[in-house]
Amino acid sequence: KVLGPMPPAAGPLVTTDPRTFNGSLSRTLRESRPWVGFIVIVTILLGSCLVVAGTFAVVIGSRDSQPQLLGAGFLMFLDAAVVFFFAWLLFAYNKHVGKYLRDNEKSIRKLDRAFRTLRSFWIFDSIVLIVLVSNGILAAIWAFSAGLIHG
């Protein structure tokens, strides 16, 4: 059964016309920029919460002589540093995208700088993810070997 006439093709997926390329690319970057900014703000708030919680943990841990709480506080500071670095990389990417969008010439150099920053973000994100997964696997192995989880 035919549902109706096929809509006309939206155009080629790959184009060599720089006006079409720059227009489409600029629109996509312009539309995604506020979302990247939102992620930066939420990430900075998360990092700030980690600093506050870490400060409380360190103060209470040293006041009450609780080394576990003291260690957890310092670990929160380390986590906050990682979160702030994430935010900084995304902020730098967003800044470079903004420079590209404001540039009337649409300099490929400015766009390249933005994508190099984004590449650094994804590399850092991948390294952190590998470390987290490895820690999870090691924690599961430890839990099984310590008899905390019965298999």
| Token pair recorded at residue 20 | 């079409």
Q: For residue 3, which amino acid is it?
A: L
pLDDT in tens, 99-151: 988 887 777 888 899 999 999 999 999 999 999 999 889 888 887 887 776 65
Q: What is the mean pLDDT of residues 23-40?
A: 91
To 10 degrees, what angle do helices 108-145 and 67-102 make?
Answer: 160
| pTM summary value | 0.75
- C-alpha span between 92 and 89 (Å, rounded): 5
107 phi and psi angles, rounded to 5 deg: -60, 125
Alpha-carbon dihedral sign for residues 84, 137, 75, 53 = positive
